[in-house]
């Protein structure tokens, strides 16, 4: 970052200067005044600090915001002009969350790159991840995404510049697929309705232009060169959706506690991540059991659903952990409860009904029903015509958008499903029950990790939930035997 303030100002802006340097450079800014009294260090601690470890706060009744005081763990200092960033996590919880994400889910070595992709409200978790990364010798890059900025572009950009990428954004996107790089994307909508009033046609055009400018990136995705972990942060807006019956702070805290439990780092799990390791091992074993069955077809049957999904001879099932093209093992989603495979793109037949709404890119899609013929989606229904057209616009970025790239099995032992709550977020809701995804398949779901003629390719991948305790799943083996997989919500194979 360039700064016109000289070396000292540059060090302060990048967080590298000492408090003494700051006082020398900006004495009037940091010195106590009658209007801005010194902070009372005897005030009780208040753990919603300006970052995960700046967690000592003193209330100044003459100001509309909180004065933040560091506790010595992050080198933070009194800064009585900055508004406080609230977080529903304690500092210890943020530290454990960040440690599990980096240590248990990624395989990065000192000097390698960790890219953090997040919205502004996710900053407390992003800071915790950055601190954890730097402590482990990693290089950390920060990439902030803002749906309100995206809405400004979609609503007001000229046709000429809509969706146009800058050269540095293209370069940054490609860098994430290089050896020794990994991305942590933080989900949790801060503006869930940001695009609700935007023109669906312009939303679709915006996405189509973005993906058309990065063909090499999607080729590298398909070839397994991307290492990405998706985690979640409980924003205020998301908590209002998931816990609408609670007051804002209580709902946000409840959602934070849910996330810790789902990631197996809650109070009952211990702090070291061993519970998550055991869970990942269990999912790995389930995938191994199903792989040994050599299934050629899945059938989903339930209210509004009678779907036949053909599997290829070289199909294999994956679980929480996977291996990229560089030979590094990583976890793609946290939390996770699924085992999954990529079906034959040309052979899905029948109907499916979504058992939960889909939340995608700031919009919600409800009462979704699908009909497939010859592997292709031939009919889509939704609660409103606007929802239907908007979703079709997302799928029709290419021919593969209307074909299945994934089917996943989730039984009712899922901690997320046991809550019995709609979370309005695909990362969590897809792990409540069985789901399917329209769009790209996974080469890792083929023997040897190689593409096959009936593996779907697309520039999109959208998961929709079709499972519930009322939906029975059976598999048909290559020998023609029907094997119960999920019955009454319970996992059956052993």
Average pLDDT of the residues in 411-421: 93
Question: Count of residues for the chain?
Answer: 494
pLDDT of residue 322: 87
Residue 297 has pLDDT above 60, yes or no: yes
Per-residue pLDDT tens over the stretch 425-463: 889 989 999 999 999 998 889 987 777 889 999 989 999
User: pLDDT band for position 34 (50/70/90)?
Assistant: very low
Any idea which residue has 């995206």 for tokens? 150
Q: Is the pTM of this model over 0.85?
A: no
Distance (Å, whole) CA 408 – CA 427: 13
Average pLDDT of the residues in 416-423: 91
Which residues are within 8 A (CB) of 25 and not within 5 positions of it... i.e. 6 or more apart?
A: 8, 9, 12, 17
- CATH class in words for 91-262: alpha beta
Distance (Å, whole) CA 279 – CA 345: 30
Per-residue pLDDT tens over the stretch 58-90: 333 323 333 232 333 333 333 333 345 789 999
Per-residue pLDDT tens over the stretch 299-334: 999 999 999 999 999 999 999 998 888 999 999 999
Both tokens of 39, joined, read 């902070």
User: pLDDT band for position 50 (50/70/90)?
Assistant: very low
The residue among 69 and 184 whose pLDDT is bigger is: 184
Per DSSP, the chain holds a count of helices (H) and strands (E) of 15, 22
For the chain, which residues make up each domain, given as ranges? 6-69, 91-262, 274-491
Residue 389 has pLDDT above 90, yes or no: yes
Residue 1 has pLDDT above 80, yes or no: no
CA dihedral of residues 90, 93, 99, 105 (deg, nearest 10)? -130
Element (H, E) at 10: helix 6-13
Specify which of 55-69, 273-287, 351-365 reaches the highest per-range mean pLDDT. 273-287
Per-residue pLDDT tens over the stretch 120-145: 999 999 999 999 999 999 999 999 99
Over the chain, what HEC string results? Answer: CCCCCHHHHHHHHCCCCCHHHHHHHCHHHHCCCCCCCCCCCCCCCCCCCCCCCCCEEECCCCCCCCEEECCCCCCCCCCCCCCCCCCCCCHHHHHHHHHHHHHCCCCCCCCCEEEEEECHHHHHHHHHHHHHHHHCCCEEEEEECCHHHHHHHHHHCCCCCCCCCCHHHHHHHHHCCCCCEEEEEEECCCCCCCCCCCCHHHHHHHHHHHHHCCHHHHHHHHCCCCCEEEEECCCHHHHHHHCCCCCHHHHHHHHHHHHHHHCCCCCCCCCCCHHHHHHHHHHHHHHHHHHHHCEEEEEEEECCEEEEEECCCCECCECCEEECCCCCEEECECCCCCEEECCCCCCCEEEEECCCCEEECCEEECCCEEEEECCEEEEEECCCHHHHHHHHHHHCCCHHHHEEEEEEECCCCCHHHHCCCCCCCHHHHCCCCCEEEEECCCHHHEHHHCCCCCCCCCCCEEEEECCCCCCEEEEEECCCCEEEEEECCEECCC
User: pLDDT band for position 381 (50/70/90)?
Assistant: very high
């Amino acid at each position: 970052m360039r700064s016109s303030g000289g070396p000292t100002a540059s060090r302060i802006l990048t967080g590298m200067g000492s408090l003494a340097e700051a006082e020398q450079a900006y004495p009037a800014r940091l010195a106590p005044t009658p209007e801005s009294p010194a902070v009372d260090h005897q005030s009780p601690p208040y753990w919603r600090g300006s970052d995960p470890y700046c967690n000592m706060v003193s209330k100044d009744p003459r100001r509309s915001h909180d004065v933040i005081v560091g506790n010595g763990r992050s080198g933070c200092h009194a800064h009585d002009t900055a508004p406080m960033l609230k977080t529903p996590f304690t500092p210890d919880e943020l530290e454990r969350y960040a440690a599990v994400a980096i240590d248990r889910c990624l395989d990065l070595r000192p000097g390698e790159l960790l890219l953090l992709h997040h919205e502004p409200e996710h900053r407390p978790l992003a800071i915790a991840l950055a601190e954890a990364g730097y402590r482990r010798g990693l290089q950390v890059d920060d990439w902030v995404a803002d749906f309100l900025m995206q809405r400004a572009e979609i609503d007001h950009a000229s046709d000429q510049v809509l969706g146009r990428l800058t050269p540095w954004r293209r370069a940054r996107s490609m860098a994430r697929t290089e050896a020794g790089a990994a991305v942590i994307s933080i989900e949790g909508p801060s503006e869930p309705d940001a695009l609700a009033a935007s023109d669906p046609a312009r939303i679709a055009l915006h996405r189509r232009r973005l993906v058309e400018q990065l063909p090499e990136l999607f080729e590298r995705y398909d070839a397994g060169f991307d290492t990405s972990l998706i985690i979640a942060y409980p924003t205020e807006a998301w908590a209002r959706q998931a816990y609408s019956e609670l007051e804002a702070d209580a709902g946000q805290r409840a959602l934070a506690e849910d996330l810790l439990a789902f990631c197996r780092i809650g109070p009952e799990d211990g702090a070291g991540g061993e519970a998550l390791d055991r869970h990942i091992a269990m999912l790995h074993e389930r995938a191994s059991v199903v792989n040994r069955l050599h299934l050629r077809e899945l059938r989903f049957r339930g209210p509004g659903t009678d779907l036949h999904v053909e599997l290829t001879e070289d199909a294999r099932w994956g679980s929480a952990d996977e291996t990229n093209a560089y030979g590094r093992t990583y976890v793609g989603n946290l939390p996770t409860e699924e085992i999954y495979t990529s079906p034959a793109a040309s052979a899905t037949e029948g109907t499916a009904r979504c058992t939960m709404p889909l939340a995608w890119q700031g919009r919600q899609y409800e009462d979704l029903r699908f009909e497939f013929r010859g592997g292709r989606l031939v009919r889509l229904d939704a609660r409103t015509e606007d929802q239907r057209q908007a979703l079709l616009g997302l799928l029709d970025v290419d021919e593969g958008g209307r074909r299945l790239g994934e089917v996943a099995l989730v039984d009712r032992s899922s901690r997320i499903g046991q809550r019995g709550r709609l979370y309005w977020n695909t990362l969590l809701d897809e792990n409540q029950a069985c789901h399917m995804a329209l769009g790209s398949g996974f080469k890792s779901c083929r023997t040897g990790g190689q593409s096959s003629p009936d593996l779907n390719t697309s520039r999109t991948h959208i998961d929709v939930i079709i499972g519930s305790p009322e939906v029975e799943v059976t598999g048909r083996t290559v020998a023609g035997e029907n094997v119960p997989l999920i019955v009454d919500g319970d996992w059956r194979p052993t």
